[in-house]
Copies of this chain bind each other. A is one copy, B any other.
Amino acid sequence: MGDIITAGVLVIGDEILSGRTKDKNIGFIADYLTNIGIDLKEVRIVADDEADIVAALNALRARYTYVFTTGGIGPTHDDITADSVAKAFGVGIDHRPEVVERFKERYKKPGELNEARLRMTRIPDGAELIQSATILAPGFRIGNVIVMAGVPSIMQAMMDIVAPTLRAGERMLSESVRGDCREGDIGTPLRAIAEAHPDTTIGSHPFLDENGKSNTRLVVRSRDQAKLTAAMDAVRAMLVGLKAAQ
């Protein structure tokens, strides 16, 4: 058995909390982490407020193997993630010379490399950059915290860069089956199956199907393929029995 690697996600941004922008990053990161064997355990969304960011970040980084943040690393006054991360870690923050050099290459017109743009070159002391030829304003990693952009395409590029550097967990395997039944019809036998298969997690997720009827998707998860198969077999047998009885 490999280690269990856990993660928290911290989404930073007033625009998500006001509803003006709909988050597209949480679902992407959740899928991504599941695929590389990291268990996402908690997500928080907080405003562009230093005290809120610091408190959430300190809670999450103490608790999980990794913390991924999105948002707040742009050039404007409401982009305070880098400063908040430095504060949470109790380290300084300054213009990182190698990033300033790249910005000088990119912004050559008079006045273009202004104070606002230079703000994006400020990186907490000791942090490693997350960058590529196509990412101008870098993300960074400090300790177990990975700081990424809020714009989905850039965040996704940063995930691809940072993922190979993460400790890989033993991957959570999962299988699902459409129940074609109402949750209430299977709750009692499903509980018995869940109790009889301790190293699995069995989820029951109601949805309205294409006919507008209450339906249920059953999901079995385990890190052990044999245990997963045994539990899934029991779930399928229960569904067959249910149909026969109807």
A residues contacting B by CB (< 8 A) are: 11, 14-23, 26-27, 30-34, 39-48, 52, 56, 74-79, 107, 112, 114-117, 119-120, 150-151, 153, 172, 174, 176, 183-188, 190-191, 194-195, 201-208, 219, 221
Contacts and interface: CB of A to CB of B under 8 A. Distances in A.
Contacts of A191: 76-77, 116
A171 to B, nearest CB: 12
A43 B22 contact: no
16 contacts: A16-B30, A18-B30, A18-B34, A19-B33, A19-B34, A19-B40, A41-B47, A43-B44, A48-B203, A76-B186, A76-B190, A78-B202, A115-B188, A117-B184, A117-B187, A150-B206
A115 to B, nearest CB: 5
Number of copies of this protein chain within its complex: 2
Main secondary structure of the interface of A (DSSP, over half): mixed
A211 to B, nearest CB: 15
A126 B1 CA distance: 46
Contact of A184 (B33, B47, B56, B116): B116
A46 B40 contact: no
Given A117-B187, A188-B115, A203-B78, A26 B45 contact: yes
B219 A15 contact: yes
Given A42-B52, A183-B76, A190-B76, A27 B23 contact: yes
A75 B117 contact: no
A195 to B, nearest CB: 8
Contacts of A41: 17, 46-47, 52
B74 A183 contact: yes
Nearest to A74: B183
